[in-house]
Chain A
Amino acid sequence: MGHGHPHHHHDHSHDHDHDHAVGGDLPAALDPTVPETELSPADRSRRSFLRNAGLLGAGTAATVLATPELAHAHGNGGDTGHGGDKEPKGGFHWLAGDHHIHTQYSSDAQYRVIDQARHARGHGLDWMVVTDHGSVAHAKIGVEKVNPDIVAAREQLKDLLIYQGLEWNIPAAEHATVFVAPGRNEVAVLKEFENAYDGSVKNAGGSSPANEALAIAGIKFLGEQVRRRRVDGALFLANHPARRGIDSPHEVRAWRDADPTVAIGMEGAPGHQAAGLPRPTAGRNRGYYDNGPSADSFAGYPLESYRTWGGFDWMTATVGGLWDSLLAEGKPWWISANSDSHVNYLDTSQRGPGSNFDLNGRHDDPVYGPLLTDAGDYWPGQYSRTHVGAASFSYRAVMDGLRAGRVWVDHGGLISGLDVRARVAGDRRPDSGTPLGGVLRVKRGTRVELTIDIDLANTPNWSQFVPVLGRVDVIAGQVTGPVADRDTFTAPTARVVKSYEVGKGTGRVSFTYAFGRVDQPFYVRLRGTDGNRTAPGLMGAHVDPFGPALDIAGDADPWKDLWFYANPIWVLPS
């Protein structure tokens, strides 16, 4: 199927074919136009898994509404691996990770790859992405020099998947994580990409139609490298999207539509979660979200969008806001939560003295230093985690899980496991139901319910307490199809439809929410909190009576304000 959306970038000069069928942009395993018989055994197994999980198409189409073939999940369709140290749950290995981590190859960071990797593993992560800033120095030196460090860390830490990526300066917009599957071309593809499309390297940061077109071309380039089998996968997630108001709604939509197998989502919560802690010096904002509108900002964004809410970015934290407006379109767009670790709170190291970053493309190795009481970041896995339901413990499976949106995120270890499924009412088979990121297609009038199984924290977090889950909110909204105005950032029908009080930190809790007989398409997503800080949502108390509260500069202790968010499931009666 084609994109079918109007050419809103009427003033673009780029020569890319907007009308290209999405199917043509897909890796073979994901491309329904490639017959089963033409697939390699590995691709056949991959397709089988995706199909059986009810996922084929959901995370790879521009909209779930046009997905040609979707089935209910039937659990794990094969592809079993050793699965890290996680037991399979509902047919998936839930692997925790972080796709936004800096090293000494970023001018504003300091750690070795192995420093970040050891801490990531120590804090329980299964996968991570090295994302040093795109820059002239990085494109020339760092992108190559960091690779042997990553390869060595992979050797040293066999139970941690370490991807090489880049923090892309999106032309005309914010930063984004871009990463590829490991392989012989990983450096070459990243280097070509950075040299051709980085907003800093190309001096293309400002808001203009030409720069927006360069961003689209960059995403298409990544998809092309996968199609040409230079790399096995490439993903894009927009980082700290609302921080400076420069990721306009139409840009977010355009990235997604440029190649939905590559551009899959955004940070629901930014990193730098320690930045808002009380400290003797002047208070900073959680996430370093302290900017206001600039000339490059999207004029329609309210001032509220420039701050965090319960540690989350406004696009995600607002029920009925920008994220919901994408989901209401039927547009798969997933959220994540990461550390953005540069310099970590209460660490005792400092940048290598005498470093010459511009010359060497890196800072010298860090050395022992004073206690970093002013730093704003946590180690990977210490506070923010992105949990991916993967078929196996492998690079490919984590990327497939991310692409499928089988993802939930938490702060501070609020919960330890989450199994959410949309089901035909009464079906309680452990291996059935549609998981996060999936699409449940049913006959009109079918009774549908949501089963929610939550493993509570059970173990202490990295501040050595066992978090207590206060409340779980079920959020739902109608699927209303493509928007007429690509700068839409509200979803009028989204609201909290049910809240469950929990008040426990150990054991397991289960809930069932009945939607009754369904006759209209909708999506549902989940959110939970320790309940310590709440406020009526920005769209009103009737939409979200107990939403996240505005984070206060210098008074935002992140450990006392914990949330988890899950990606959506669509229910499409027909």
Chain B
Amino acid sequence: MANESTIMEPTGKREGAMTQPEYIRGGRVYSPGVDIIELENELLLVADVPGARPEDVEIDYEQGMLTLHARVEPRRKGEDLDWLLYEYGVGDYYRSFQIGEAIDASKIEAEFKNGVLTVHLPKTEAARPRKIQVKVSS
């Protein structure tokens, strides 16, 4: 089992920043809430990206850095609406992680359902747990 430091956000980035928007390309950018789950043979990264379309989600993995970016266009473009309640904003999602565990980059897969993105990060053969058979010497 990997320890807590297996997955880290790059230094300088605040952890657990779930709703703090930053401004890139004129719109707001949100940091999606994520779960990171370790299974025997893979890591799972589960991110809430409501309103994103599968075709607008980019996942990059380079030198141990996993980056998620989902482009989300405003759903009410150019309309001057009479807001009665405005509790959340709409914009791109962006977040990156440093993955310490050895990952087989060629086998990374992602699925998308109901606004939730699940990224499968298979461990390399070398990083998988192994059972060592103890031979009994006769």
Do A and B make up one complex?
Answer: no
Which residues of B does A touch, CB under 8 Å?
A: none
Which residues of A does B touch, CB under 8 Å?
A: none
